[in-house]
Amino acid sequence: METKIPISVDCVIFGFDDKELKVLLIKRSQPPFQNCWALPGDRLRIDEDLRHAANNVLDRLTGVRDIYLEQLFVFGRLDRHPSDRVVTIAYYALVNISENEPKPSSFASRAEWIRISKIGDLAYDHRKILDKALRRLRRRFRGRPVGFELLPEKFTLSQLRRLYEAVLDQPLDKRNFRRKMLKMDFLLPLEEKQKDVAHKAARFYSFNRERYEELAAQGIRFEF
């Protein structure tokens, strides 16, 4: 009985443009699913480490590189691929859109940031993979402070709040949000403020990752 099976990796890359949550998709230039939108993904080679493979695939198809990919789930239904049996390992990541301009290549004729709300069906079972990634993302946002990867280095508390509102898909009270976040004590207030805005300039903050790790190591729980 055959026990060697093709494995692929697929990447769900989330970005945020200060208003909406987006995902990095490619348009396939080849069958199967020619001209369909799909998650960037390709076969795993036998000498590739899994996470490296995911990074390589992503780079090959979209030019996005060197990001931290986290394993999401394995999808292995017998019928998930139209011809072969292919087991796919899905990875996901959060990145800053403005620092990751996609450039299509290989079998991707296009590679673009697409708004979540505009995404319909995708190639293979990629829509299911995306939905799973979205559920995971929401759970993560409630359970601990993530998502700083989706923002620029310096951000205002309103930007951070809008991100949470976009991901959790619900409005959040400005004052309570601010208090809760600042109490956690891993946001570093900067001297710098917004400029050229038609309203009171907001203070910038940066995420103090070291402080966060320190607190997390002490077992502190950051519920949201």
Binding site for a second copy (CB under 8 A): 1-7, 43-47, 49-50, 71, 73-74, 76-78, 85, 87, 89, 143, 223
Nearest approach, Cβ of 157 to DNA (angstroms)? 5
From a second copy, DNA, none, interface partner of 114 (C-beta below 5 to 8 A by class): none
From a second copy, DNA, none, interface partner of 85 (C-beta below 5 to 8 A by class): a second copy
Nearest approach, Cβ of 40 to a second copy (angstroms)? 17
CA distances from 49 to 37, 54, 59, 62, 147 (A): 26, 9, 15, 20, 26
Does residue number 46 form part of the binding site for DNA (CB under 7 A)?
no
Can you give the three-state secondary structure of 23-83, one letter per residue?
EEEEEECCCCCCCCEECCEEECCCCCCHHHHHHHHHHHHHCCCCCCCEEEEEECCCCCCCC
Does residue number 202 form part of the binding site for DNA (CB under 7 A)?
yes
Does residue number 191 form part of the binding site for DNA (CB under 7 A)?
no
Q: Between 74 and 197, whose beta carbon lies closer to a second copy? A: 74
Nearest approach, Cβ of 84 to a second copy (angstroms)? 9
Which residue, chain included where needed, has tokens 């993560």?
140
Nearest approach, Cβ of 193 to a second copy (angstroms)? 37
CA distances from 62 to 59, 110, 184 (A): 5, 8, 36
- Fill in the DSSP letter of residue 98: G
Nearest approach, Cβ of 113 to a second copy (angstroms)? 27
| Chain positions contacting DNA, by CB under 7 A | 156-158, 173-176, 178-180, 193, 195-203, 223
